[in-house]
Amino acid sequence: MTESPHASRTLVETADPPVAASGAPDAATRKRNNTVIWVLIISAFTVILNETIMSVALPHLMTDLRISAISAQWLTTAFLLTMSVVIPTTGYLLQRFPTRTLYLAAMSVFVLGTTLAASAPGFEVLLAARVVQALGTAVMLPLLITTVMNLEPPETRGKRMGMISVVIAVAPAIGPTISGLILSVLPWRFLFVAVLPIVIGVLVFGFRHMVTTNEPSDAPLDIPSIFLTAIGFGSLVLGLSKIGEITTGGSSTALAALGVGVVGVGLFVWRQLVLQRTDRALLDLRTFRVPTFVITVFLFMVAMAGLFGTIILLPLYMQGALHLSVLSSGLLLLPGGLAMGLLSTRVGRLYDRLGPRPLLVPGLTTVAASLWALAALLRADSPWWIMLACHVLLSLGLAFVFTPLFTSSLASLPARLYSHGSATVSTVQQVAGAAGTALFISTMSAVALRQTDAGASDEVALTAGIRVALVIGASLVTLGIPLAAFVRKGSADMSDAPSGH
């Protein structure tokens, strides 16, 4: 693609010139690269934390705002819907705009959304604020991944991707814990008040230290692709988030949304395949010509479905079967989240030395074993430490999974597809999270309903449903273990591939 005059002027007028990704950088460049990456890591962690921070706050919101459970759930659903619609467009955004401009815009939008949420007088403004928050959040993860791939040398990418794994996996995992701590002593509004000074501080720091790290090009924008993105991915995530209603007779909305979503995504894929022949695709799907990328994306879907599924199931078990408080439930999930975070950077260093296979195979095996153990050991009267031990084991296994998957997936692509690859991985995160939540919740609800009809107590019925859902999750992860042996560390499987169809 040719660079537009506007893009050239942007680069010339930027206070700091773009950071070169090739060659051996000098000490000053390495320091600047390190600062840029850390700004993005801290920013991404802060904004992605909000994805699950509302999960345990819904009962408080229903009481304070006098809204129904269905209305309250939209505070999470609208966030996921917005993310799923915007993320596929980030491949274009990362090519078209300077990274400094994109970063400042995304963080400013997120600060605006957080401010609106903290001061929301009612449900409608709070819902709009969540959408605004999601607009900023959607850009940050692809921006972080693409920048790391462009700036970090191949021999140390695993270490950096370990830090990204903390953002991707730990931030959503500890969201309910932080929410439970805040709600135990303060009103729901402080979920946003507490984070507001942090994100403002990060924005100010980023304004001072963030520099442009890319060379923007005059990338084309295909309006029909954006429309299909909104219809396809938005409807798909909406349908998945409502699939649990099928077990209670409210299946029409879920099935209709899923149908529209499948058709919309199919049309989106078809249009991208046509447009990429002339390098005009909104999301370039030539990434799926790379075997390593395809395998890692599939394994990533399985891992994210397992993570988000257990994030929602275990609090239900602790509060519904063991009758623990919201605070206690959040604190019991904290050790696993901390263990994952502390181990992720070490796993990144191991990846740089050993490659993906020695980490992925035992990691996925550990994840599967923990899910099988939960399915076998959980009872309505089980001691809490059984669930805690299994959750820590699950978190340790996921720490060995996410870093190799992130690093291998993007490293297998040529540099010109980094932005599209990161957008694809981030989209998969949202869809897989919604799918895992929907699969686990709908299975749990169906089994629990049958158990209740058969005369079981609410605690026994709930536990039975959760165990069956965990069996399904364990089976999916187990099926993915053999695929881990085919993941390669090598770079750019298709670096010499032609740019056309």
Cα gap 65→426, rounded to integer Å? 32
Cα gap 465→42, rounded to integer Å? 38
Contact 37, 211 (CB under 8 A): no
Instruction: Check residue 250 and give its pLDDT.
Output: 55
Instruction: Check residue 34 and give its pLDDT.
Output: 87
Helix 384-411 with 326-354: angle, nearest 10 deg: 40
Cα gap 121→497, rounded to integer Å? 55
Contact 222, 271 (CB under 8 A): yes
Instruction: Check residue 70 and give its pLDDT.
Output: 65
Contact 349, 155 (CB under 8 A): no
Q: What is the pLDDT along the chain (501 residues), one digit of tens a residue?
A: 333 333 333 333 333 444 444 455 677 878 888 888 888 988 988 888 877 777 667 777 878 888 876 677 778 778 877 888 888 888 888 888 999 999 999 999 999 999 999 999 989 999 999 999 999 999 998 898 888 888 888 878 888 888 777 777 677 777 777 887 888 888 889 989 988 999 999 999 999 888 888 888 887 788 899 899 889 888 887 787 676 555 555 567 778 888 999 999 999 999 999 998 888 888 899 999 999 999 999 998 888 888 777 877 888 898 889 988 877 877 888 888 888 888 888 898 899 899 899 999 999 999 999 999 999 999 999 999 999 999 999 999 998 998 898 889 888 998 888 888 888 888 887 788 777 877 787 788 888 888 998 988 989 999 999 999 999 999 999 999 999 999 987 655 444 344 444
The dihedral built from the CA positions of residue 28, 30, 32 and 38, taken in this order, carries a sign that is: negative
**What DSSP assignment string belongs to 366-407?**
HHHHHHHHHHHH--TT--HHHHHHHHHHHHHHHHHHHHHHHH
The pTM of the full predicted model, rounded to 2 decimals, is: 0.79
Instruction: Check residue 196 and give its pLDDT.
Output: 92
Cα gap 236→258, rounded to integer Å? 5
Instruction: Check residue 362 and give its pLDDT.
Output: 96
Task: Match 């409210």 to its residue by tokens.
Answer: 250
Task: Provide CB contacts within 8 A for 174, sequence distance 6+.
Answer: 49, 333, 334, 337, 338
DSSP 4: P
Task: Provide CB contacts within 8 A for 387, sequence distance 6+.
Answer: 314, 317, 318, 332, 374, 378
Contact 396, 343 (CB under 8 A): yes
Instruction: Check residue 87 and give its pLDDT.
Output: 87
Tell me how far CA of residue 256 lies from CA of 139, 279, 391, in angstroms: 29, 33, 35
The dihedral built from the CA positions of residue 217, 218, 220 and 223, taken in this order, carries a sign that is: positive
